[in-house]
Amino acid sequence: MVKQDNLHEKVRHALDTQLSGLVEKPGRAQSILRLANGEEQPMKRKVSLALVMALTFALALAGVTLAASLGVFGQFAQDENKQQRMETLDSKAQTYDTTVEVTPEVEITPAKEAENDYELLLAYQKERAFTFTLNQAHTAGSSLFVSYTLEGIAPNLTKGEGLPTGPFDWIQEEGQWSEENQLWNNPELQDEAGNWLNAKDGRYIKVDSAGMGDGANLLDGTVLDILDGDTQRLDDNTLQGYMECALPKGLEGDTLTFQVYLVYGSMVVYQDQEGYKTAYVSLPDKKNIQYIPLTISRTGTTVSKAGSLNTDTYSVITQVFISDIDLQGTAKIEVPQSWTAPWKMLGDGTGQTDYIMDYKLYIGDTPQNNQNGGVLVVDDTHLEISLRYNLPKEGDVLRLVPVYSKTGDHPKEGIDLK
């Protein structure tokens, strides 16, 4: 795989040169590395729109067989942690099957007028067309759930000899192209690209790709950060997926209007005796981002519960929201400074400190593991742990029990949710 320090430099450079001026959403390094390594796993952490543009080429091309009796949400119930939530969501979400055509620009620069390879590639970007379908949607508590199908995303591998001409913004990589430099989880395309680049010095490949940006926006520009999501390829040209996005407080009305965004572009890889280098190409004016407005009905109910605990070592306030899909919330903890230090070192747990790293939810006598597990270091003495569990039944007794890094569960420090 690409070395981590080199990958971070690639992401930073692409962000600076391709997407300057865009409002960035919060991002997490592990999710970025997941995309860059070509993995189509659940996106449980927030990913910035800018970095999705730079790394959308890394989406996998795995074939999928669908169950005809399920909606798109139901296709993602194979994950044991998500199974109950996705099956419940599939049964409660409203089906829309609303299709939006993203058509080419009216004024297309003819390829024959291009003076170099860079202009030719820009001309091609203006000719691209996509079909977006909103399959299902649901609102529950502070979450918006959207499932979709996107067509028109074929990688379109192109090969050529010599250094591509024009003002490409090249990023020099380390060494020669190898099988570890994954662009797709498609063995045939991967082999074709590698065989071409490595057969002779002074060759290049170009791959075009597309995907949905993580999250959504309200029409006033309010960012709806992504909380969860996943994608799967039906074929080389078709992608299905879902997103869960955070809704702001205070939204009213029986309908919700928002916009998702399609991110597309091209990546060029050139290799000679000095090694290989890459460049990302998008239209300078619109950055190859197409906004798609959608309106859905607002449904779902939410019940709030809370609890707190004060000890000689720490204090914690918890609040959870029980929707018709699952239970979500946060545990806000005031802690000794020694408890935040391990998280600043990526939670490696070094040293002798025994600190709270998670919470289990006991539904009666049955424990559930936290499906989120995200920890935010607010400052030197405050932590915030994100909580998500399967939907409890009405009337169940709910209790949060802290999980320590060294000594595990501490039932005596449990918090009753009322």
Let me know: does 163 contact 117? Beta carbons within 8 Å.
no
What does the domain layout of the chain look like in residue ranges? Answer: 4-297, 303-416
CATH 2.30.110.10 for domain 303-416, yes or no, is no
386-412 pLDDT per residue, tens: 999 988 988 899 999 999 999 999 999
The closest of 164, 171, 207 to 189, measured between CA atoms, is: 207
pLDDT one digit per residue (tens) for the chain, 418 residues: 333 344 444 444 443 433 333 333 333 333 333 333 344 433 333 333 334 444 444 433 333 344 445 799 999 998 888 888 899 999 999 999 999 998 876 555 566 677 899 988 888 888 888 999 999 999 988 899 999 999 998 877 899 999 999 999 999 988 888 877 777 667 788 889 999 999 999 999 998 878 899 899 999 999 999 989 999 989 888 999 999 999 998 888 899 999 999 988 889 999 999 999 999 888 776 667 889 999 999 877 788 999 999 999 999 999 998 988 899 899 999 999 999 988 877 545 456 789 999 999 999 999 999 987 789 999 999 999 999 998 898 889 999 999 999 999 999 999 999 9
172-210 pLDDT per residue, tens: 988 888 877 777 667 788 889 999 999 999 999 998 878
**3-class DSSP string for the chain:** CCCHHHHHHHHHHHHHHHCCCCCCCCCCHHHHHHHHCCCCCCCCCCCCHHHHHHHHHHCCCCCCCCCCCCCCHHHHCCCCCCHHHHHHHHHHCEEEEEEEEECCCCCCCCHHHCCCHHHHHHHHHHHCCEEEEEEEEEEECCEEEEEEEEECCCCCCEEEECCCCCCCCCEECCCCCCCCCCCCCCHHHHHHHHHHHHHCCCEEEEEEEEEECCCEEECCCCEECEEEEEEEEEECCEEEEEEEEECCCCCCCCEEEEEEEEEEEEEEEEEECCEEEEEEECCCCCCCEEEEEEEEECCCCCEEEEEEEECCCCEEEEEEEECCCEEEEEEEEECCHHHHHHHHCCCCCCCCCCCEEEEEEEECCEEECCCCCCEEEEECCEEEEEEEEECCCCCCCEEEEEEECCCEECHHHCEECC
pLDDT at 106 (0 to 100): 55
pLDDT at 362 (0 to 100): 96
pLDDT at 94 (0 to 100): 94
